[in-house]
Every structure is written in structure tokens, then in C-alpha cells.
């Protein structure tokens, strides 16, 4: 999340639901993905640094992944509260971490083939 920066990871708490949106198929790629690619619940514990090799030690947080099924955002654009009626819907997604409503999280989970408890 946010390329391993600590501050955004401190803003989420155990039990929070997260949906990962991928604008491209890989970091730095021009090939569009424009889909939710991961859905999970943050586990107990604090953010920690992880050595990815080559001197890159981003911060991470443990997550219980509920779905890895890709769900394109296009069919959801008019039903998600944070995108409905917005021509520049992708702008908000550029900032990384932001809160979405329970309504939106349920729609994303359904599109990804996962069920979320209330």
C-alpha cells in the first residue's frame, strides 16, 4: 500500500476491510488493469518493515485475504458511491488509501466473489 510508506499503514486498524485497486497490470506498466485485485481484513499487529531485497525495505501489515479474484471497476462505476456520476472517478484512487462506505465495500466484495460479514 502506497509503496510501503508507514503513515498510511498506521491509519488502518485490525478488523478494517481493505480492497486493493490496480490501475495497471504492473508497477510502471502502461497496460491497463483498472480492477480490484485483492480483498481482505487487516489482522492484529502493527506495521513492520520487510526486506524485499536490493535495499528496498517497505512497511507491511498482515492481512487475511478473502479474495484474489479480479473485479473490473467499469461495471461498478455507477453503483459505487465514491464513483457514481463522477467523470474523473480515477482521481481519488491516485491518493492510495481512503475510506469507502460499507455499501461500496459490499459491492466490491460481491464482484470479487467474497462475502463480508456485517
How is the chain split into domains, by residue range?
2-111
Is there a contact between 38 and 67 (Cβ–Cβ < 8 Å)?
Answer: yes
**Cα–Cα distance for residue pair 44/14, rounded to 1 Å:** 5
Percent of the chain topping pLDDT 90:
64
Its CATH architecture, for the domain 2-111, is: Roll (3.10)
Encode pLDDT of 2-46 as tens digits.
678 899 899 999 999 999 999 988 877 888 999 999 999 999 999
Neighbours of 6 (CB within 10 A): 13
DSSP 4: G
pLDDT attached to residue 4: 83
**Cα–Cα distance for residue pair 99/56, rounded to 1 Å:** 28
pLDDT attached to residue 91: 84
Please list the residues that pair with 73 across neighbouring strands: none
Q: What is the DSSP string of 53-89?
A: BTTB--EE--EEEEE---EESGGGTTTSTTTTT-TTT
Q: Give the residue among 68, 63, 66 at the shortest CA–CA distance from 13.
A: 63
Neighbours of 39 (CB within 10 A): 24
Amino acid at each position: 500500500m502506497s509503496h510501503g510508506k508507514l503513515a498510511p499503514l498506521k491509519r488502518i486498524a485490525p478488523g478494517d476491510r481493505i480492497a486493493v485497486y490496480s490501475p495497471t497490470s504492473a508497477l510502471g506498466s502502461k497496460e491497463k488493469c483498472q480492477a480490484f485485485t485483492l480483498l481482505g481484513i487487516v489482522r492484529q499487529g502493527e506495521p513492520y518493515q520487510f526486506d524485499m531485497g536490493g535495499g528496498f525495505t517497505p512497511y507491511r501489515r498482515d492481512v487475511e485475504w478473502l479474495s484474489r479474484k479480479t473485479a473490473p471497476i467499469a461495471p461498478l462505476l455507477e453503483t459505487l458511491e465514491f464513483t457514481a456520476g463522477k467523470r474523473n472517478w480515477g482521481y481519488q484512487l491516485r491518493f492510495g488509501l481512503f475510506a469507502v462506505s460499507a455499501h461500496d465495500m459490499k459491492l466490491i466484495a460481491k464482484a470479487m466473489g467474497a462475502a463480508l460479514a456485517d
